[in-house]
């Protein structure tokens, strides 16, 4: 009999259910004697032994369902070695629950922080297989993460809809797209929707360059300008600050987010009418797009194959359109950022898109 534990950790996204379904279907179609233990609310469930027994029926009809049937939570890696409020050793508790249930392996679905903890559990001797989930597409070792394409579709549609009202009123519109540390989502949604200016964390912006672009468009007869701004976008001035100085500045930050600061500066320095739109968590919600359904199913199937073969310690990813396995130690702690010299950035600039640099 195979005993498999599953959990989803970190922020939710589309196709988590599709990926879990892929894992379970691929295993149960090959081996009938299988027990699936679903840990609730991410690593919390594994720490406190909060789980539910799952059967094939639980994975029926969830291919198109967003979110996660197991629930999720954030358990920061930097706190994982610290005892909880009752003095419980979290890592030891996870190990004990794993051994108590006599699990053959853990299937963990998550992003960067999740993979750090997954690798720690691997180092502690547990059998682990992971799947790359995040709308940010910032996991090292895979060209794509599931949830990303659906989020691109949603953010693109939001910006598409802004175009008509921006044109009607002759305004500058800022659409704030999710992405604290990397700009893959903003870059792709911005290009797909025809944004005029794209601001991402990896390329610090100069407000005067943004104003130049707006004036350039006005001179050409364009009544409006669309900015796609990542929530983690940063000015060149702030990028020069030390971490300590930047943290100090943010203590007294008067804006809800960087988009509102940029809007104020544009009103003040360029005298333009500006509006800010924040799609927010809509980018993480709803049903996965067809691409993500197929992609997550493929990853789940490959994870199932690894489990059947007893190959552990890997993240299942994709490279050059082929599903691959990547050693967890190569993935954990690494971020896949947008390079300022990336081909896609150069191509966007050739199309006339400004990055404010």
**Interval 112-157: pLDDT, tens:** 999 999 999 999 999 999 999 999 999 999 999 999 999 999 999 9
Beta bridge partner(s), residue 37: 5, 53
Give percent of the chain with pLDDT exceeding 70.
100
Q: What is the pLDDT of residues 176-200, one digit of tens each?
A: 999 999 999 999 999 999 999 999 9
Helix (H, G, I), strand (E, B) or coil at 340: coil
Residue 308 — pLDDT band, cuts 50, 70, 90?
very high
pLDDT of residue 285: 94
**Which residues are catalytically annotated?**
136
Nearest by Cα to 119 from 339, 290, 289, 330: 330
Q: What order of strands is seen across the sheet that includes strand 128-132?
A: 51-54, 34-39, 2-8, 105-110, 128-132, 314-319, 322-327
Same fold, 2-147+288-331 and 150-284: yes
Domain range list for the chain? 2-147+288-331, 150-284
- Does the 2-147+288-331 domain belong in CATH 3.40.50.450? yes
Cβ contacts of residue 121 below 8 Å, gap of 6+? 91, 94, 95, 98, 106, 128
Which DSSP string do the residues of 192-247 spell out, in sequence order? HHT-SEEE-TTS-B-HHHHHHHHHHHHHTT---EEEEEETT--BHHHHTS-HHHHH
pLDDT of residue 245: 84
Cβ contacts of residue 20 below 8 Å, gap of 6+? 6, 8, 59, 62, 68, 69, 70, 107, 109, 300
Query: For residues 154 and 338, is the Cβ–Cβ distance under 8 A?
Result: no
Q: What is the pLDDT of residues 16-53, one digit of tens each?
A: 999 999 999 999 999 889 999 999 999 999 999 999 99
Look at residue 170 and tell me whether its pLDDT is greater than 90: no
Beta strand pairing call for 197-199 and 225-230: parallel
Please report where in the chains the tokens 């992003």 appear, as a residue: 111
Structure tokens at 353: 């898109």
Look up the CATH superfamily of 150-284.
Phosphofructokinase domain (3.40.50.460)
Query: For residues 177 and 186, is the Cβ–Cβ distance under 8 A?
Result: yes
How many helices and strands (H and E) does the chain possess?
13, 11
Q: What order of strands is seen across the sheet that includes strand 225-230?
A: 197-199, 225-230, 172-177, 274-277
DSSP 77: G
Cβ contacts of residue 47 below 8 Å, gap of 6+? 75, 84, 88, 90, 93, 94, 97
Look at residue 250 and tell me whether its pLDDT is greater than 90: no
Beta bridge partner(s), residue 39: 51
pLDDT of residue 56: 86
pLDDT of residue 141: 96
Question: Residue 70: is it exposed, middle or buried by C-beta count within 10 angstroms (0-12/13-18/19+)?
Answer: buried
- Number of CB atoms found within 10 A of residue 1's CB: 9
Structure pTM? 0.95
Question: Is the torsion defined by CA of 344, 350, 354, 357 positive or negative?
Answer: positive
Look at residue 167 and tell me whether its pLDDT is greater than 90: no
- Over the chain, what is the mean pLDDT? 95
Look at residue 243 and tell me whether its pLDDT is greater than 90: no
Lowest mean pLDDT among 72-76, 125-129, 160-164, 201-205: 72-76
Lowest mean pLDDT among 117-121, 164-168, 323-327: 164-168
């Amino acid at each position: 009999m195979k005993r498999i534990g599953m959990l989803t950790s970190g922020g939710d996204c589309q196709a988590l259910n599709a990926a879990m379904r892929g894992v379970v279907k691929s295993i149960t179609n090959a081996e009938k004697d299988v027990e699936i233990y679903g840990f609730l609310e991410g690593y919390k469930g594994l720490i406190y032994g909060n789980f539910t027994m799952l059967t094939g029926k639980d994975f029926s009809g969830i291919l198109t369902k967003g979110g996660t049937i197991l629930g999720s939570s954030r358990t920061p890696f930097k706190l994982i070695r610290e005892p909880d409020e009752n003095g419980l050793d979290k890592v030891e508790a996870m190990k004990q629950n794993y051994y108590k249930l006599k699990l053959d392996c853990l299937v963990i679905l998550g992003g960067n922080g999740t993979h750090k903890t997954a690798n720690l559990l691997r180092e502690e001797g547990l059998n682990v297989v992971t799947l790359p989930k995040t709308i940010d597409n910032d996991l090292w070792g895979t060209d794509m993460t599931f949830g990303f394409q659906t989020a691109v579709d949603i953010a693109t549609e939001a910006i598409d809809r802004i175009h008509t009202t921006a044109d009607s009123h002759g305004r500058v519109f800022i659409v704030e797209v999710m992405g604290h540390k990397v700009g893959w989502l903003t870059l792709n949604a911005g290009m797909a929707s025809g944004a005029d200016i794209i601001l991402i964390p990896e390329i610090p912006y100069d407000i005067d360059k943004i104003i130049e672009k707006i004036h350039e468009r006005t001179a050409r007869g364009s009544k409006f300008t669309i900015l796609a701004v990542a929530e983690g976008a940063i000015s060149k001035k702030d990028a020069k600050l030390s971490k300590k100085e930047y943290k100090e500045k943010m203590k007294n930050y008067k804006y809800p987010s960087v988009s509102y600061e940029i809007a104020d500066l544009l009103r003040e320095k360029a005298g333009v009418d500006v509006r800010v739109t924040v799609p927010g968590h809509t980018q993480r919600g709803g049903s996965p797009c067809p691409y993500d359904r197929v992609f997550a199913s493929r990853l789940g199937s490959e994870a199932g194959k690894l489990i059947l073969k007893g190959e552990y310690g890997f993240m299942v990813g994709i490279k050059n359109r082929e599903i691959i396995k990547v050693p967890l130690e190569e993935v954990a702690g690494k971020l896949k950022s947008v390079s300022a010299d990336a081909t896609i950035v150069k191509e966007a600039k050739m199309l006339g898109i400004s990055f404010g640099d």
